[in-house]
Structure 1
Amino acid sequence: MAGAGPDADDPSPWVARWLPEAAAMAGRGRLLDFACGRGRHTRLASECGYAALALDRDPACLALNQLPGVEARTTDLEAGAWEWGAERFAVIVITRYLFRPRLDLLLARLADGGCLIYETFAQGHGRYGRPSRPAHLLAADELFAAARRAALRVCAFEQGMLEAPRPAVIQRMVAWRSTRPQRLR
């Protein structure tokens, strides 16, 4: 995937870049790593001192329960009702995953002052590999539009072609939920 380091277990450079910023702005409330896979971002969050909820359908994610502050669960991310109550998260990390029927619900789970860090594949990626079905590829500006619908403040948005470590077409975004003016540096 675009954004992965040389090793598939390395955190995405996009997430690694923005997670410390999220800690500075949103604090260290609980982080949700949605569709966490083997937990490359959950591990990074744990190292940064976050308490984290890691969700994936693959039972391999349960190994993440050994990390300090991590609760990992296996679940079908796409079927049935939302089963995580009304909890709101200080940070939500989503990479390499898109399921549009859950997108607005996920964005609504972001706490006031919270940060969304999202990176996934976009239209045009199919020529380089999987995923290639339109249901799994973002349309131009789609992530930005979803953030605006959810009244999030977008502070970073990119879409286009990455050459390394493998060619990929992606969209990635960092957005905040805040009723206060954004702090500038």
Structure 2
Amino acid sequence: MSADADARPDAVQQEPSPWVARFAPMVPEGGTVLDVACGSGRHARMFRDRGHPVVVLDRDVVQVSDMAVDPDVEIVARDLESGRPWPLEGRTFAGVVVVNYLHRPLFPALVRSVAPGGVLIYETFAVGNERFGKPSNPDFLLHRKELLIAVRPELQVMAFEDLEEQVPRPAVRQRVVAVRAG
């Protein structure tokens, strides 16, 4: 969380995902990070604190509007499920981060967005989570090994988890960290 977090009383203050924080050092130093479906920007804020320029992408960017004053932050407002083309086509990033978001048609664009030497850090809910509450709609739950299939063969998988966890709340999640050869 940035040092001025307390100065933003309207901001949702959340800690970064432990998965993202664990693998953040794999993002090449000083490289631009794309935070997809960024929400409150908790991951973008963490990467800014680490010295990375960031691009935040979400349909509603109100929660990250305070970041607009930073010249190393680009805010892109786009409904990714509208059927419109990927708004960042042709651009690549040292890091691409996606947490708690699933729209399967975006998988190819997300993989293409990883620059040579860059890393994709992805984490969201999987089948079985419906036992614990939301999300419970199968459209928003990954199938077994779905993230592995989505990133291969273009990216090399460095870490993968498909598990049921109890902390911070019961959930079934899938996570992947994958790199593009430099």
What pairs with 1:1-185 in structure 2 (closer than 5 Å)? 9-22=14-27, 26-60=28-62, 61-67=64-70, 69-79=72-82, 80-149=84-153, 151-178=154-181
Secondary structure of the corresponding residue to residue 152 of structure 2:
helix
Moved >4 Å (runs of 4+): none
Secondary structure of the corresponding residue to residue 88 of structure 2:
coil
Secondary structure of the corresponding residue to residue 62 of structure 1:
helix
* Alignment deviations for residues 118-169 of structure 1 (CA, whole Å, 9 cap, x no partner): 00000000111111111100000000111114x2100100011110111110
Letter in 1 for 2:101: Y
The runs of 5 or more residues in structure 1 that have no matched partner are 1-6, 180-185
Letter in 2 for 1:70: V
Letter in 1 for 2:18: P
Percent identity for Structure 1 against Structure 2: 44
Secondary structure of the corresponding residue to residue 73 of structure 1:
strand
Secondary structure of the corresponding residue to residue 135 of structure 1:
helix
Alignment partners' CA distance in 2, 1:39 and 1:175: 22
Q: Does the 8 Å contact 1:52/1:69 carry over to 2?
A: yes
Letter in 2 for 1:34: V
Deviation at 1:84, TM superposition (A): 1.9
Deviation at 1:8, TM superposition (A): 6.2
Secondary structure of the corresponding residue to residue 132 of structure 1:
coil
Deviation at 1:68, TM superposition (A): 5.8
Q: Does the 8 Å contact 1:161/1:170 carry over to 2?
A: yes
* Alignment deviations for residues 5-40 of structure 1 (CA, whole Å, 9 cap, x no partner): xx9611000001110132xxx332211000000000
Higher relative contact order (CA 8 A, sep 6+): 1
Q: Residues 68 and 16 (structure 1 numbering): CA distance in 2 closer, same or farther, change over 3 Å?
A: farther
The TM-score with structure 2 as length reference comes to: 0.87
- Number of paired residues? 169
Deviation at 1:67, TM superposition (A): 4.3
